[in-house]
Amino acid sequence: MLAASALMPGKSSSELRLTSVSRALLARFKARASFMFAGCCWWRSLAVDGCSGASRGHAPVVRRPGSQCSAFRQNGTVAERPIRLFGDPVLRTPCDAVDAFDDVLIRLVADLEETVSAPGRAGLAANQIGVSRRVFAYNIDGQVGHLVNPVIEATEGEQEDEEGCLSIPGLWYPLKRAQYVRARGIDQLGQPAIVEGEGLLARCIQHEVDHLNGRLFVDRLSGSARNLAMRDLREGFAS
């Protein structure tokens, strides 16, 4: 399981981290566990060795006390939103930075977190529900959160596993990603926040930031995997 750790030295209360993935969870991953991002990824043969060297946190910013998402849930205005599919122009349009921290943003975050909380989902970018704003939500081992205006500021190592996307349903291809990622941004209330982790969370962050930049995971494929993906897309999404 992923568990919250103590605050790291020199970090504010908004920069919470979680401990590394437990051996039991890693064993479950290696037993060909299947995970799906809402618009993110399936890993059908995830081979993550966990933390190499010093341990790092896996899931970061948790919703802070005073978050207004709960108010929207209580009055019934939160909705699980439909996912936009390959071919929709919003998926190819770089998202605009968030510059207003108001009820519109809080409602968007609430909808993202509600949608990503469906069973088996791990990450969701705002443009995948048709909103061109730089926000994504994650759901890793029951830890649900979000990051606004994310910027990846550090990466380390490498992992390679099959990756897919709910915006391109049914298709999976091997793709290399960084093993560790740290992304800095802000939360729905405008407070500084960090999301960092290895393995599954690192892949999630990279996949979602790609979405916010108008990029799909198939754009990163090369060689025979890319050729196969282009053929599958022509056959599966021809209109």
User: In three state form, how does the secondary structure of 175-220 look?
Assistant: EEECCEEEEEEECCCCCEEEEEEECHHHHHHHHHHHHHCCCCHHHH
- Is position 130 within any domain? yes
- Is position 15 within any domain? no
pLDDT at residue number 76: 55
- Is position 196 within any domain? yes
Give yes or no for residue 15 having a pLDDT over 90.
no
Give me the number of domains the chain comprises.
1
- Is position 5 within any domain? no
Could you tell me which residues come within 8 angstroms of residue 196 by beta carbon, excluding any fewer than 6 positions away? 17, 56, 57, 60, 154, 180, 181, 182, 183, 205
- Is position 228 within any domain? yes
Residues recognised as catalytic: 208
CATH number for the domain that contains residue 218? 3.90.45.10
- Note if the pTM is more than 0.75: no
Q: Kindly state the tokens that stand for 14.
A: 């908004």
Measured between alpha carbons, how far is 117 from 38 in angstroms, rounded to an integer? 9
- Is position 1 within any domain? no
pLDDT digits (tens, 9 = 90+) for 152-183: 999 999 999 999 888 998 899 999 999 999 99
pLDDT band at 238 (very low <50, low <70, confident <90, very high): low
Whose CA is closest to 122, among 132, 134, 113, 111? Answer: 113
- Is position 10 within any domain? no
- Is position 169 within any domain? yes
Q: Count of CB atoms within 10 A of residue 126's CB?
A: 28
The number of helix segments (H) and strand segments (E) in the chain equals 5, 7
pLDDT digits (tens, 9 = 90+) for 175-221: 999 999 999 999 999 999 999 999 989 999 999 999 999 999 999 99
Q: Which range marks the domain in which residue 166 is found?
A: 23-237
